[in-house]
Structure formats: structure tokens, C-alpha cells
Amino acid sequence: MHSVPAKYAESVKNISYIYDAVGTKLKKVVTDASSLITTEYAGNYVYEGGVLQFFSTSEGYVEPKGLGWEYVFQYKDHLGNIRLSYADSNGDGVISPFGGTQGGEIREENNFYPFGLKHKGYNNVVASTNPALKFKYQGQELEEELGKDTYAFQWRDYDPTIGRFNKIDRFAEKFQSFNPYHFSVNNPIFFREVKGDSINISELYKKDADGNFVNATQIEAFETFANTKEGKQYLSKFASKDQIIAGVEFDSDGEFHSEGIDLNFDSNVSGTGSGETGVGENNNGEADSNGRFQINISFSSGSGEFDAIETLTPAAARILSCGLTPNAVATQFESCPDGADMFSVG
């Protein structure tokens, strides 16, 4: 980094970021002429100017208050959007829009259009300046500095005004039928965006021209399985952090996701029959052009719900019983035992 002559300093405006080796954001520095704001991210703890501003919890966040702390609770909808932030600041057991010590116990209310643009013209009062309230749509940070007005979705910046990312999808080769800049497969009501899904269910959930699910029975079977103890264990190995599958949210990257191995659920995977599994595009046993391997699981389009579950569970057991590594996933997968007796589906 080089110094800027004093006569040009007033016009310098930029945002710089520092990440660790695996892509976790550690620091953001906003330079606006003579103003410099540094934000540091240490897991759930966020500092500004070297001072702790808040740390997040499963119910909301905790912020400094005098010599102690205050809990701020947040209501989230099914997509992880933070709709309401509130705290019992005066300790009377009642949440009042006009009570408390910080100008109101309801800190902020958010209402969003489907693609994340916030409603305006009502409920605009924000009773706190804590940077925790920058995290809004799908729980991501809204970066308004320098008029940027985009959400930091970990790997890419998202502009809710146009419903598009401003950078190409790092897994664009993996989903060639989709626009590499689109958001949540252009269906933010049903899908939640993550930093790069390693469990591909978009084909399983495809709809016909009338808006009906083509694979309704298979979806029901998949969601039934996904909410079992074994199903959660199985999917957790492939899920990426913050991904939601069939209502189940995963809080960390799975071991297979980190190793570059993905899952692809479909009702008609090329080269497979019902209940069959395979590795690679069209089951060619090779890595995709992005260097990742995908394990394909095919459902029968005409099977009943429990038939479909019986299709899925042996494949799940087969994967759980094996140690897979990227360079040998094709040969390892073929040698895995069937594992059909691992699950009870009746």
C-alpha cells in the first residue's frame, strides 16, 4: 500500500478487505477522505475501531451496556431474514416501542420485498446505532458505505435493487443451466442463498409451466428423510455453512464439502435408473471442470413416497459407511457397501 499526497487525500474513497486462507473475512477498512473506519470480525465477535460492538448468539446478539451487557433478541423468518430486533432495556418484562434507555426497546423492524429490497415509508424508526443492525436480509451484512448498498454474501456482493450478484458464481461450471449472476435460482421465496451450495436440490424441486412441483412425491420423501437423525447426519457431511435443506440449517461446512465432494439429487440423472448412484457428470467418474466431484442420486419419477425413501436411504448409508477423498472418490464410492439395512423406512 502506498501513501497519497496530502492535496489528493480528500478525494480518496475505498473499501479494503482482509481474509484468511480459507476465505473468512477478518477485517474491513473504509476510507472516506480523512475518515477511516476499521471493522474486525473474530467469529461471532465484531469490533469497530478496536472496541467490541457486539457478539452474536442463536437468539440475536449481545452488546455492551455500561459496565455490563444487554441481550438483544431477534425474530427471523423461514429464510433467515431478521425482521425484528428488541430488548427489555428497563427490565420491566414488557417490550415497549418507546421504553428503555436507548430511545425504544424495539430497535428495528425490517420488511423485505422477495429479492431483499427493504420496504420504506413505514416503521422506519431505528432506535440503535449498533452495527449489529447492519445484518438484515438472510442474516447478511448490508454495506452502505460509500453508497455501495450491497449485501456481503461471503463470496460475493449482492445488489437487492436488481436482484443480482455483481460477481460470477464460483460454481458456475457446476450449474451451467443457470445465470452465473442470479440470486437463489431466481426463487428467493423457496431457496436461501449460501456461499456456494454443495447439495444441489434445484432439479429435484423444479416446477412445471403451471407452477406445480414435477417431483412432489420425491420431494416429500426427501424432506421426510432429511429430518430424521440419520438424514441430518448424512446431509451434514455435504452441506455448506448456513445452508438450509428441507428446513434443517447447518452451522458449519461438512467434511465432504470441504474436500470438494458434492451431492446432486434428481429424479432423472442421465445414465442412472431408479435407485442408482454414480459419480461425475453423466456418471463419467470424473471431476467437473471446477475440480469438484458430484455424487448423483436418482429418484424414480413414478415411485411412491416410501419407495422413494427406500431409493435414497441405501445410497445415504453407502456414503456414510465410507471415507471418501476427492482424488479417489469414484473408485472408493464403487467399493462402498450398499448399507441398505442401516435405516428403517417402514
Summarize the confidence of residues 315-341 as an average pLDDT: 49
Q: Number of folded domains in the chain? A: 2
What's 280's DSSP letter? S
Digit-coded pLDDT (tens) for 191-216:
667 654 445 566 667 777 777 777 77
Look at residues 42, 41, 17, 43 and name the one whose alpha carbon lies nearest to residue 30.
17
Write out the three cell numbers for 34.
Answer: 480523512
Residue 180 within a domain: no
Q: Is the same domain home to 214 and 135?
A: no
pLDDT at position 100: 47
Residue 149 within a domain: yes
Residue 171 within a domain: no
**Which own/partner contact pairs does 14-17 have at CB distance under 8 Å and 24+ positions apart?**
14/146, 15/143, 15/145, 15/146, 15/148
Using pLDDT thresholds of 50, 70 and 90, give the confidence band for residue 346.
very low
Residue 174 within a domain: no
Q: Is the same domain home to 148 and 99?
A: yes
Residue 342 within a domain: no
Q: Which domain holds residue 210?
A: 197-335
Number of other CB atoms surrounding residue 118 within 10 Å:
13
The CA–CA distances, whole Å, from 306 to 52, 193, 245, 296, 311 equal: 52, 30, 19, 20, 8
In this model, does residue 178 exceed pLDDT 60? yes
Q: Is the same domain home to 109 and 243?
A: no
Q: What is the gyration radius of the CA atoms in the chain, in angstroms? A: 23
Per-chain mean pLDDT for the chain? 74
> pTM for the whole thing?
0.60
* Residue matched to cell numbers 440419520: 230
Bigger pLDDT: 88 vs 231: 88
Q: Is the same domain home to 25 and 141?
A: yes
The CA–CA distances, whole Å, from 168 to 43, 165, 180 equal: 26, 7, 5
Q: Is the same domain home to 252 and 310?
A: yes
Residue 138 within a domain: yes
Q: Is the same domain home to 202 and 314?
A: yes
Q: Is the same domain home to 206 and 304?
A: yes
Q: Is the same domain home to 149 and 208?
A: no
In this model, does residue 317 exceed pLDDT 90? no
Digit-coded pLDDT (tens) for 227-281:
888 778 878 877 877 777 777 888 888 877 777 777 766 655 444 444 445 555 6
Digit-coded pLDDT (tens) for 2-30:
444 444 455 789 999 998 876 788 999 99
Residue 245 within a domain: yes
Contact 136, 142 (CB under 8 A): yes
Q: Is the same domain home to 153 and 45?
A: yes
Q: Is the same domain home to 142 and 51?
A: yes
Q: Is the same domain home to 69 and 201?
A: no
